[in-house]
């Protein structure tokens, strides 16, 4: 790195200037890729190295992805990926310790040759973990030199300091991105809530206008006709009264259906666990096993769970070619989990045009889950059935108003 680093005040001042320039670079904006490119360029310019690579870790996939590089390797950004533990950078990520290779890289068992990065052109390398102040690994920073270079302890310390500053920038950028994503999600949820409310209003208005109100009007006319016919023709009157009774029964059924569209009455009568048992009995073509814990939740949470189970079982009955299904409802710490699985034909979730995005009512189920702060997952495989898993926050009834 900086020749003679750490040996006198002049070098300490040069080190301070480097760190200051790094701070200026990472403070210039929240565009993570641009920040990493700027840091990579700055490191090579000020440390007398020839190339710098910045790899970020994907914790879920346990991989390292190249996200910053000096020319000509900047064109490789986003296309190079290593498993944690693979290559020198992967080893550093796995162990959280720096690595120095002075020469003969190929003799080091940790080294992996990547043709696109032209390792044969470089002799020495220094790789350090990119760690937050709390010790959380977010990536790995590598520098390479064409000429043989014996990196010193001071070199390692300086690059580790740079990596620490970079870690802060990465965390800030990711936090900003998460906040922006959450704001966008909240805006979408608000729009969906308005759309859903308007849709429900239109649906209920339509049902009342086209069904209940029309039947009540007809009921009025039949009762009027009966009243007019009573003095002269009791038989006609009786016929009109019978017709009025039929209309009253139909209007009552439609009113109950409209009410059930908002909240299934069975939930108030039986509770959620017993309602799921009752729901299972409404699918006579399936053997359905229900394992439901008694959970006292807010009404809208119970309705969401019931509707999701209802939609999932309808999909099983219509599309899965299944003999049996299983419904499980349980609490997992501060979450409530509903699982509906079947022994049907399943499908390839990666196949184009499959039902994993919007088909089979999944879009509505996902939106319902998201509006409650949860998520809906679907897993399936050809010949191995399908499982729908709803996870939402557990909000007890007592917190409904809070």
Residue 275 in domain: yes
| Residues 232 and 289 occupy one common structural domain | no
pLDDT of residue 207 exceeding 70: no
Q: How far apart are CA 174 and CA 138, in angstroms?
A: 11
Separation of alpha carbons 35 and 22, rounded Å: 10
Residue 308 sits in a domain whose CATH number is 3.30.565.10
The residue with greater pLDDT, 282 or 166, is 282
Using one digit for the tens of pLDDT, what is the confidence trace for 289-334? 999 999 988 888 888 899 899 889 999 998 889 999 999 999 998 9
pLDDT exceeds cutoff 90 at 12: no
Pair 177, 110 in one domain: yes
Q: What is the DSSP letter of 320?
A: I
Domain coverage including residue 232? 190-264
Q: Give the pLDDT mean for 185-194.
A: 67
Residue 166 and residue 289 in one domain: no
Q: In total, how many domains does the chain have? A: 3
Whether 3 maps to a domain, the answer reads no
Q: What is the pLDDT of residues 28-70, one digit of tens each?
A: 555 677 778 888 888 888 788 999 999 998 877 789 999 889 9
Residue 81 in any domain: the answer is yes
Angle, vertex CA 300, rays to CA 200 and CA 377, nearest 5? 95
* Residue 159 placed within a domain: yes
Using pLDDT thresholds of 50, 70 and 90, give the confidence band for residue 134. confident
Torsion of CA 26, 179, 137, 65, to 10 degrees: -80
CATH of the domain at 36: 3.30.450.40
Last residue of a domain, one of 131, 146, 181: 181
In a domain, 2, yes or no: no
Q: Which of 117-131, 332-346, 347-361 has the lowest mean pLDDT?
A: 347-361
CB 46 within 8 A of CB 90: no
């Amino acid at each position: 790195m900086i020749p003679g680093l750490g040996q006198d005040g002049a070098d300490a001042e040069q080190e301070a200037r480097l760190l200051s320039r790094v701070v200026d670079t990472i403070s210039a904006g929240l565009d993570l890729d641009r920040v990493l490119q700027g840091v990579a360029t700055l490191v090579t310019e000020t440390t007398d190295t020839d190339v710098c690579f910045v790899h970020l870790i994907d914790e879920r996939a346990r991989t390292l992805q190249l996200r910053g590089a000096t020319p000509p390797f900047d064109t490789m950004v986003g296309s190079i990926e290593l498993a944690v533990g693979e290559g020198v950078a992967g080893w550093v990520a796995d162990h959280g310790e720096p690595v120095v290779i002075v020469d003969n890289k190929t003799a080091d068992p940790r080294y992996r040759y990547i043709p696109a990065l032209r390792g044969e052109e470089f002799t020495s390398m220094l790789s350090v973990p990119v760690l937050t102040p709390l010790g959380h690994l977010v990536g790995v920073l590598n520098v390479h030199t064409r000429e043989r270079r014996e990196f010193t302890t001071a070199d390692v310390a300086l690059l580790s300091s740079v990596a620490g500053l970079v870690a802060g920038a990465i965390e800030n950028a990711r936090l900003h991105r998460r906040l922006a994503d959450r704001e966008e999600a909240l805006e979408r949820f608000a729009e969906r809530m308005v759309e859903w409310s308007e849709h429900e209003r239109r649906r209920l208005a339509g049902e009342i206008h086209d069904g209940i109100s029309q039947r009540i009007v007809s009921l009025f006319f039949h009762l009027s006709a009966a009243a007019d016919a009573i003095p002269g023709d009791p038989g006609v009157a009786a016929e009109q009264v019978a017709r009025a009774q039929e209309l009253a029964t139909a209007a009552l059924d439609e009113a109950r259906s409209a009410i059930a569209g908002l909240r299934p009455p069975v939930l108030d009568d039986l509770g959620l666990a017993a309602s799921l048992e009752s729901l299972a009995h409404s699918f006579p073509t399936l053997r359905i096993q229900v394992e439901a814990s008694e959970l006292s939740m807010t009404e809208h949470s119970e309705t969401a769970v019931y509707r999701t189970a209802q939609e999932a079982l309808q999909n099983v009955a219509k599309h899965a070619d299944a003999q049996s299904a299983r419904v499980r409802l349980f609490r997992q710490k501060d979450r409530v989990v509903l699982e509906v699985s079947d022994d049907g034909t399943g499908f390839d979730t990666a196949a184009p045009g499959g039902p994993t995005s919007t088909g089979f009512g999944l879009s509505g189920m996902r939106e319902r889950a998201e509006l409650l702060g949860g998520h809906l997952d679907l897993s399936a495989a050809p010949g191995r059935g399908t499982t729908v898993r709803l996870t939402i926050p557990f909000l007890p009834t007592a917190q409904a108003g809070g």
